Chains A and B, each alone.
Chain A
Amino acid sequence: MKALCLLLLVAGLAGCGEDKPSERDTRLYGPEAFKVAGDTAPWSNAPFNGDQKAWTEQEEKRARLMNEYSRIR
């Protein structure tokens, strides 16, 4: 009985020593998250072939086309 109590005490204390996992570290936030997830940047393939600046300019141009005030004035 004494041995059993001792065993339970040791097992219980072993649980107290467990490190708390830092879950936030595994979340996929931030600029490098897509690489961890196995994705590639949208400008990495054809037609942009890695030219991030060209892609950004194209996206901005496309977004500005949605402003009809720039067309009617």
Chain B
Amino acid sequence: MARMRFVCDVERCIECNACAVACKNENEVPWGINRRRVVTLNDGQPGERSISVACMHCTDAPCIAVCPVNCIYQTPEGVVLHNKDKCIGCGYCFYACPFGAPQFPQTSTFGLRGKMDKCTFCAGGPEPDTTKAEHAKYGRNRLAEGKLPICAEMCSTKALLAGDGDVLADIMRTRVSARGGRPDLWGWGTAYGPVSKR
């Protein structure tokens, strides 16, 4: 069974933001919501690094543990999805997430947030696959079409990779041995646990 994962090769990310734009376009994400964003550390200084961040679809996802209405669930291939019909917009998932992935569409009177929105690994939601209803709520279901998330497939430098964890590890191993350095799998320890448990 494939275990779907993201990896961002920080040695390659050039902060072009194509991943964020592709995600917004493919899933028709509304204004104010960014399912994926590029974060730059040490901007303008030696050692500057950019990282493309979204939901990492954690193995033991803390958002699932804290959701009071149990609207977040995990698919057999390891993708963390949610049911917008059940979401009450409490924001607990946002506080629990180590990557700041859950997004809320509005901030209005009485702190009303609206339904949570986050990266779906281009796997839609609980609505029937590839239907208009699913697209309207969660975006395109590329996984059901046999494709991978658009952010990774659009990445020009292939800094952002998505797919089965074993395949990604193979690709990263090839890269690291070619460039002669240690792998920097940003966020993997937080999302997928220590190496011995992956």
Residue of B at shortest CB range from A45?
Answer: B129
Contact residues in B for A30 (Cβ distance below 8 Å)? 74
A67-B146 contact in complex given A34-B74, A39-B75, A40-B129, C-beta closer than 8 Å: no
Nearest-neighbour CB distance to chain B for A37, whole angstroms, equals 4
Q: Inside 8 A of B153's CB, which chain A residues have their CB? A: 62, 66
Of A26, A40, A48, the residue contacting B146 (CB under 8 A) is A48
Total A-B residue contacts, Cβ distance less than 8 Å: 106
Complex: how many Å from CA A41 to CA B78? Answer: 11
* Residues of B122-180 whose CB lies within 8 A of A: 123, 125-126, 128-130, 141, 143-148, 152-153, 158, 161-164, 167-168, 170-171, 174-175, 178
Contacts of A29 in B (CB 8 A): 60, 64, 73-74
- Tell me, yes or no, whether B83 is within 8 Å of chain A by CB: yes
B41 at the interface (CB under 8 A from A): no
**In the complex, B39 has a CB within 8 A of chain A:** no
A39 to chain B, nearest CB (A): 4
Task: Pick the residue among A27, A47, A69 that contacts B145 (CB under 8 A).
Answer: A47
Q: Does A60 lie within 8 Å of B65, measured CB to CB? A: no
B contact residues, range: 35 or more
Interface SS, A side? loop
Dominant SS among interface residues on chain B:
mixed
Compute how far the CA of A64 lies from the CA of B123 in the bound complex, rounded to whole angstroms: 19
Does B164 lie within 8 Å of A63, measured CB to CB? yes
**Which residue of chain A is the closest to B83 with respect to CB atoms?**
A37
Interface string of B63-103 (1 = CB under 8 A from A): 01101001011111100010100000000000000000000
Judge if B2 is at the interface, Cβ distance under 8 Å. Answer: yes
Taking A26-B70, A29-B74, A33-B75 as contacts, is the C-beta distance between A56 and B2 under 8 angstroms? yes
A66 to B153, CA, bound (A): 7
A selection of 19 A-B contacts at a CB cut-off of 8 Å is A29-B74, A34-B74, A37-B81, A37-B126, A39-B81, A39-B126, A41-B76, A42-B144, A44-B129, A45-B130, A60-B2, A62-B148, A63-B162, A63-B171, A66-B148, A67-B158, A67-B174, A68-B158, A69-B175
B residues with a Cβ closer than 8 A to A are 1-2, 60, 64-65, 67, 70, 72-77, 81, 83, 123, 125-126, 128-130, 141, 143-148, 152-153, 158, 161-164, 167-168, 170-171, 174-175, 178
